[in-house]
Structure 1
């Protein structure tokens, strides 16, 4: 079933609203942690177990989303993801015992992971996917920017559990919207390219699977959709790229404040502003860079290459000039150039694999990215603890250069696939 042009607007707006909610749920966590620690009488290390259980649920969502869409369809998959998030939030709002709080994070992570993977997969096959996905992830940034202030305001007079009740209630109309607006099965919206610059992929015949991309054969019988996706070298390479990307993004976001205060003797207020500027730069980059690049006639691959160079130069600048003001500006620029990389990589997935494997491949990318988001920040913190917080900047430079190297190989595979598609079409 194709998404017709008149139905496209509510589909896209619902996706944006869902990512604002996802951003809100991520942004309130840090503000609620002190209240949760006091309420349950645990220490920071113990409350940190919830991070790992959430990540486990998110990873599970990433590796199962493709099969979920294949069996249930887009509409039902979104309802499952949204429903899991709402139920987990409602249960958290009841102030469960601590072990139950830890366990329910698996459900919350699964719900968020399914929502992210399905919406990324669906928008990646609409015309203008690169711009749509950049805006999608920018709205996550909007939610993450608003969340701390809203949560802090609520905690002045209300218990922390009511913050989760508000998030649960906000999720209910989204689930209803998914059921009303989204198609049962996915398909390109108007026969145009499925991603900026990518050839069109026709929708499936009634009752039949989508056709394979040129040069990619789907054999789901040999281990299922997940195994078939993992057999595609470009999919694995893209997953590694996003693991490094998320590792860099979160490492700088988590430890940038400590660097400015401990390494540059900057006041906590100014350091806080600088880190907020980093996240604001990330959000602005997602709103601005893709539309400007499209007007300039740049391909998504060329845009990403330019952003990767900008990321590397910004990290080197912050490291090479040991001045707090320069480091603060460099962090904002680093966030700005990092912004488009994740959504643009997602938009290129339909050019890497067969149509039927796109949701599974995007789920893999999304799931693996959370591993990078856990491992690299932990490693950055461990190095800072043993050597000094100044190591964050050379650590960021190493990850930035690694991103460039991985993207160079990935872009070559995308170009080769596009050439094969043009030859076959000719």
Structure 2
């Protein structure tokens, strides 16, 4: 099981690299091709479209080729796409490569999440938090590598770094044995009729034994899934808005220089990575619903305080605390949703990751529009409103599970 987790961590490190490599070298790439930022934005959106396709198609590909086969396909596709990027083909071909790259790391993210949640029954939140730590490290390291390569005049080699990591991931998944899990990783189709319960976690955090029914999303389970879909849409959109526009907000709000404002993103991701080291343990000790609820409450309070900050040190303190507050929300909420909808481990993670991907594309567009057309503090308040939406949903799911725990006990 440890081998599975560490190879999963390598895979999430790869995802972190792949997520940010294009953005890291985008200015110099656009200069090389003679294109403007609107065309660069279109290229990034094309990669996002591929990411969404990879997430949504992963359950079907898993059934057809097995989870291991699906991961090998995704890693190979990402390897080929990153090498193709490095060759700097004609601009039109970049819109073929970008969706292929996005499809590759999108499918890897969805399949790894499915495997870990299904295979690791105890301390699942701890395992998912470890994956997210490696994702954050990859997202922090890649801009540093790209910066050095740009300074040396070898910026295209940034893609080679991701390609090499993809090749290593492919080899590990192809050659590694996981004992009794090998048959599950290679299994195609569904040999057993899946079941779906209306169970909630017991007070100790394990599913209550309630008579299972056939796996479908209907009735209150469909309503619960819809709540989590909206939650992930808002969460990833808020996180990406903070990561992409926090420097712009600080420049507009406090007249900071670009270099200093850019450090806010580094501060945010460092706090996220540090927080993820402990998020799983905290969530396992105090229950997933409690962790998600108080994390969202902290985010709301911090984002409501932020518009009133007038000093650089206080703004950076808020950003640091925001990173810590939000650090475990994605992974813990993903586990929480899967535990609330037992029997759906094959599909629920993919649906929620996909909804997060949509939010990560749409809400930053809304945030960017607000910075162009509204006052900077109004944009900051809009982020707080997104966080209020997260808090409302977390309260509903908290009460939902609490009701089912009470019903089970009685």
Q: What TM-score comes out, normalization by structure 1 length? A: 0.85
1:129 aligned to 124, 130, 147, which one?
124
Task: Give the CA deviation at 1:134.
Answer: 1.2
Aligned to 1:196: none
Task: Give the CA deviation at 1:160.
Answer: 3.0
Q: State yes or no: 1:306 paired with 2:294.
A: yes
The 1:331/1:88 distance shift into structure 2, 3 A limit, reads same
Rounded Cα–Cα distance in structure 2 between residues aligned with 1:256 and 1:385: 14
The 1:215/1:249 distance shift into structure 2, 3 A limit, reads farther
Deviations 1:384-419 (A, max 9, x none): 101122323201110111100111222334445556
Q: Which one is further off, 333-342 or 277-286?
A: 277-286
Aligned to 1:408: 395
2:137 aligned to 139, 142, 145, which one?
142
Rounded Cα–Cα distance in structure 1 between residues aligned with 2:193 and 2:63: 9
Task: Give the CA deviation at 1:320.
Answer: 2.8
SS of 1:142's equivalent in the other structure is: helix
1:347 aligned to 332, 335, 338, which one?
335
2:320 aligned to 332, 336, 339, which one?
332
Aligned to 1:251: 241
Aligned to 2:205: none
Rounded Cα–Cα distance in structure 1 between residues aligned with 2:404 and 2:174: 35
Rounded Cα–Cα distance in structure 1 between residues aligned with 2:318 and 2:67: 41
SS of 2:381's equivalent in the other structure is: helix
The 1:209/1:241 distance shift into structure 2, 3 A limit, reads same
The 1:13/1:116 distance shift into structure 2, 3 A limit, reads same
Aligned to 1:272: 262
- Unmatched 5+ stretches in structure 2: 198-209
Q: Is the 8 A contact 2:15 2:105 kept in 1?
A: yes
The 1:229/1:275 distance shift into structure 2, 3 A limit, reads farther
Q: Is the 8 A contact 1:293 1:299 kept in 2?
A: yes
Q: Is the 8 A contact 1:65 1:359 kept in 2?
A: no
Aligned to 2:202: none
Aligned residues: 391
Q: State yes or no: 1:77 paired with 2:64.
A: no
Rounded Cα–Cα distance in structure 2 between residues aligned with 1:210 and 1:179: 27
SS of 1:96's equivalent in the other structure is: coil
SS of 1:400's equivalent in the other structure is: helix
The 1:166/1:102 distance shift into structure 2, 3 A limit, reads same
SS of 2:286's equivalent in the other structure is: coil
Rounded Cα–Cα distance in structure 2 between residues aligned with 1:10 and 1:161: 33
Task: Give the CA deviation at 1:56.
Answer: 1.1
Task: Give the CA deviation at 1:325.
Answer: 2.1
Aligned to 2:150: 155
1:240 aligned to 230, 238, 244, which one?
230
Rounded Cα–Cα distance in structure 1 between residues aligned with 2:401 and 2:315: 35
Q: What TM-score comes out, normalization by structure 2 length? A: 0.88
Task: Give the CA deviation at 1:334.
Answer: 0.8
Aligned to 1:24: 17
Aligned to 1:288: 278
Q: State yes or no: 1:109 paired with 2:99.
A: no
Deviations 1:60-98 (A, max 9, x none): 122222222233222112112212211211221221211
Rounded Cα–Cα distance in structure 1 between residues aligned with 2:225 and 2:168: 34
Task: Give the CA deviation at 1:230.
Answer: 12
Task: Give the CA deviation at 1:289.
Answer: 2.9
Aligned to 1:190: none
Q: State yes or no: 1:15 paired with 2:8.
A: yes
Task: Give the CA deviation at 1:168.
Answer: 0.9
Deviations 1:345-369 (A, max 9, x none): 11123323242x3221111111111
When the two chains are superposed, the root-mean-square deviation of aligned CA atoms in Å is 2.6
The 1:27/1:52 distance shift into structure 2, 3 A limit, reads closer
Q: Which one is further off, 383-392 or 97-106?
A: 383-392
The 1:340/1:10 distance shift into structure 2, 3 A limit, reads same
The 1:147/1:321 distance shift into structure 2, 3 A limit, reads same
Rounded Cα–Cα distance in structure 2 between residues aligned with 1:128 and 1:175: 27
